Structure 1
Amino acid sequence: MAKIPNASVALVVGVTGMAGLSLAEALKKPTALGGPWKVYGTARRSKPSWFPSSIVDHFISFDATNLDDTIKNLFPISNEVTHVFWVAIQVRENEEANILINSTMLKNVVDVLKSGTSSPLCHVTLQTGTKHYIGPVFDPSLANQLVAHEPPFHEDMPRLPYPNFYYTQEDVLASYAPSISYSVHRPSIIIGASSRSVYNTLLCLAVYANICKHQGLPFRYPGNGYTWEHFNEASDARVLAEQQIWAAISEKFKNQAFNCTNGDVFTWKSFWKELCKVFNVEFVPFDEKEKFDVVEMMKDNASAWDKIVEEHGLLKTKMQDMIAAFAAIKAVLNLEFQLVSNMTKSRDFGFFGYADTLRSIEMWVRRLQDMNIVP
């Protein structure tokens, strides 16, 4: 393919996840900064039925952990791609394994795109998260010994003394300087729509609510009293996409890290009340004596979800594919500190995107329903 002079050509790696879907949609808007964009979207698996083909110019399925497969699929476009938007993630049994696989994927993709003699690649946008500030909370061998930074989290806090694949990915990108610039985006709990994201809090809570309705069970909060009453925050996938594009197109933001949250805070009590309204289930106040393990509960109700999927003719999702996300929910909802990031740096640099977290819940649930992922 011939190189298009002065064109903005994006490669969205992980386009079928929550962030990837919103990013591709944002890039293809006529008003997108730096546009008009040509968009290549990639994923490990084939395009799901709910994915709107109009938001990418080309969809590519390949395995970024395999260098030969990466060369086969990406070298032909290496003379086109100007910007990589990295929203991909693979999760393994511990953080050391996460470091190996996620850094390998990132390096394979950038190396192949840079290998062409006329490569126009100039910027990589890397999505990480607040695990940067709290450590690998999902690694069972480390979770009980972590000491997090004191919130609110801000971008110049030093790295924690624990293995973290986010740190390694940042180091990988820094190694390409000065030929490639990068920006790092650290969202909190991402709220969006997809059946493919490893950690999809809203999808899991929708599945949990529907199982409770189906089984005649109370929709109880699966966390602790601290998170029920104290402040948390979230990152709407649309705000995240807006920030990533904003940072990708200006020299001013070269090699900078930015927190990305909605700009408001909520308690999980208020979040739970909103979920109850959206799913039409009774609100049950938190009771410490009624604590339970949501991961084990979901494993026990896998067959109930299968019945719901069949009865409503939904996209065939399996509970076993959501257990990692439920385990993440269990960890986050049982924290003993407020999960809150400082957004001052973004404001200082000129980014003012925001979303009303509680008001966005219903919109994203309806989107999941329109995609035929939940009833």
Structure 2
Amino acid sequence: MTIDKCNGLLGSVQLMENVAIIFGVTGLVGKELAKKLLSEPGWKVYGIARRPEAIPAAVQNPKKYNFISCDLLNPTETHQKLNSHLDPQYVTHMFWVTWAGQHPLDTKECYEQNKAMMANALNAILPRAKSLKHFSLQTGTKHYVSLQAPFNSKSPRFFSEDIHRARPVQYNFYYALEDLLREKLAGKVSWSVHRPGLIMGSSRRTLFNVMGTLCVYGTICKYLNMPFLFGGTRDCWEEMFIDGSDAQLVAKQHVWAATSDHEYSGQGQAFNAINGESFSWKKAWPSIGMKFGVEVTRMENFSEEFTFAAAMADMGRVWKEIVKREGLVETEIGDLANWEFMDCLFRCPVKMLGTREKADRMGFRTRCDTTESILYWIEIMRKEKLIP
């Protein structure tokens, strides 16, 4: 890491041989989780995703890492591939950092699809997983709120992990995954739940990719000499609505919970996986603009009328020009940018802010400055030749 954006210590992983499966290894956290485990002695890692994405040179020994291309929504394929490419009896840790996003959130279709995907994986592994020690599930701080009107203006300012499930949401798939683990593991294997906010990382395989979207936007603004505007509500511009979560911090918390002995290492203990620093887009925007080399002349680079979906609708050709001219990794604009997501993010109607009290008390004290996180991942995406 070239920028000291996070501070804190992670207890050393035991020297015994551990075999991990990372479901969603090409995502923002999945990539960092693989790198973290492979940098420790005594780990063998199987990465699962539909399409591969290169794990950086942190993998010194290729025999420690195997990628398995698998459609987890297909029960037959899941069973066949997970039992032919690895031996479930030696698996010690499972990390679930994936989800199916073909249907809108909080719909019955999204709920059932994500539940089925995890059930397929568990049914393929658990019958022979005699060495399994821990299952680590990643969801998010949307666990605490409903994004369906009417919105609850009297909800807690900061959510702790023991808050009751949000109402009136009926089909939040996070709840389905927790309930499925409780049923399938049946008190025999420890498991944890990790709830990040807005994840900062680098991936071409992530639907809600704030860094990819920001980086494509900033690059196009520089290329076309466009104003670098924040389009959203004034509240989202001036106040913190969603916690920042650095992908490396979230990965560290997964490993900490999966390998530490503490009173919360039992069944279904949840931890907010958040940076823990105050943040606003209004304060961060000038630094972000400077990083892209665009002019930010005043703090109010803000517009309630501006939408990313409308402004960037026809920029696919421009992005191809930039990729060719700068010799970047070949990507389509949609591989990195999700304009509709950015418009929703900057117009979020309810705050999803968590407290770090539980994780801090139990010994996970790694923290990140969210602005530094954003600047760090811009630089990483440059090194990976995804942006100029």
TM-score calculated relative to the size of structure 2: 0.86
Q: d(CA) in 2 for partners of 1:82 and 1:349? A: 23
Deviation at 1:68, TM superposition (A): 1.2
Deviation at 1:6, TM superposition (A): 5.9
SS of 1:159 mapped into structure 2: coil
Deviation at 1:172, TM superposition (A): 0.8
Deviation at 1:338, TM superposition (A): 4.2
- Tell me which residue corresponds to 1:311: 325
1:91 aligns with 2:104: no
Q: d(CA) in 2 for partners of 1:219 and 1:289? A: 10
User: Is residue 96–residue 136 contact of structure 2 (8 Å, CA) maintained in 1?
Assistant: yes
After superposition, residues 278-357 of structure 1 pair within 5 angstroms as: 278-283=291-296, 285-286=299-300, 291-322=305-336, 325-357=338-370
User: Is residue 274–residue 361 contact of structure 1 (8 Å, CA) maintained in 2?
Assistant: no
1:185 aligns with 2:194: yes
The gaps in structure 2 that reach 5 residues or longer are 1-14
Q: d(CA) in 2 for partners of 1:261 and 1:188? A: 6
After superposition, residues 112-123 of structure 1 pair within 5 angstroms as: 112-116=124-128, 119-123=130-134
Q: d(CA) in 1 for partners of 2:227 and 2:18? A: 50
1:126 aligns with 2:126: no
- What residue identity is the alignment partner of 2:159? F
* CA 1:300–1:17: 2 relative to 1, 3 Å: same
Q: d(CA) in 1 for partners of 2:299 and 2:364? A: 37
After superposition, residues 41-56 of structure 1 pair within 5 angstroms as: 41-45=47-51, 47-49=52-54, 51-52=56-57, 54=59
After superposition, residues 117-156 of structure 1 pair within 5 angstroms as: 119-135=130-146, 137=147, 143-147=148-152, 149-156=155-162
Q: d(CA) in 2 for partners of 1:108 and 1:50? A: 25
SS of 1:150 mapped into structure 2: coil
Deviation at 1:147, TM superposition (A): 3.4
1:240 aligns with 2:250: yes
* CA 1:366–1:322: 2 relative to 1, 3 Å: closer
- What residue identity is the alignment partner of 2:157? P
- Between 1 and 2, higher relative CO (CA 8 Å, sep ≥ 6) is seen in 2
User: Is residue 89–residue 198 contact of structure 1 (8 Å, CA) maintained in 2?
Assistant: no
* CA 1:195–1:321: 2 relative to 1, 3 Å: closer
Mean alpha-carbon deviation: is it higher for 49-58 or for 150-159? Answer: 49-58
- Tell me which residue corresponds to 1:200: 209
- Tell me which residue corresponds to 2:18: 8
Q: d(CA) in 1 for partners of 2:56 and 2:81? A: 20
- What residue identity is the alignment partner of 1:126? L
1:62 aligns with 2:74: no
1:218 aligns with 2:223: no
1:276 aligns with 2:289: yes
Q: d(CA) in 2 for partners of 1:63 and 1:319? A: 24
Deviation at 1:24, TM superposition (A): 0.8
For 2:179, which of 165, 171, 180 is the aligned residue?
Answer: 171
Deviation at 1:97, TM superposition (A): 1.9
1:75 aligns with 2:83: yes
Deviation at 1:296, TM superposition (A): 2.3
* CA 1:363–1:239: 2 relative to 1, 3 Å: same
* CA 1:111–1:14: 2 relative to 1, 3 Å: same
- Tell me which residue corresponds to 2:117: 105
Deviation at 1:297, TM superposition (A): 2.0
Q: d(CA) in 2 for partners of 1:8 and 1:199? A: 31
> Which deviations, in whole Å up to 9, do the C-alpha atoms of 1:201-252 show, x marking residues without a partner?
0110010111111222101002211111112430111111111111112453
* CA 1:49–1:21: 2 relative to 1, 3 Å: closer
Instruction: Provide the identity percentage.
Output: 34
Question: What is the number of equivalent residue pairs in this alignment?
Answer: 358
User: Is residue 28–residue 247 contact of structure 2 (8 Å, CA) maintained in 1?
Assistant: yes
SS of 2:212 mapped into structure 1: helix
- What residue identity is the alignment partner of 2:115? S
- Tell me which residue corresponds to 1:140: none
Deviation at 1:321, TM superposition (A): 4.2
SS of 1:367 mapped into structure 2: helix
For 1:256, which of 254, 269, 273 is the aligned residue?
Answer: 269
SS of 2:231 mapped into structure 1: coil
SS of 1:88 mapped into structure 2: coil
Q: d(CA) in 1 for partners of 2:50 and 2:285? A: 34
Q: d(CA) in 1 for partners of 2:379 and 2:333? A: 21
* CA 1:263–1:57: 2 relative to 1, 3 Å: same
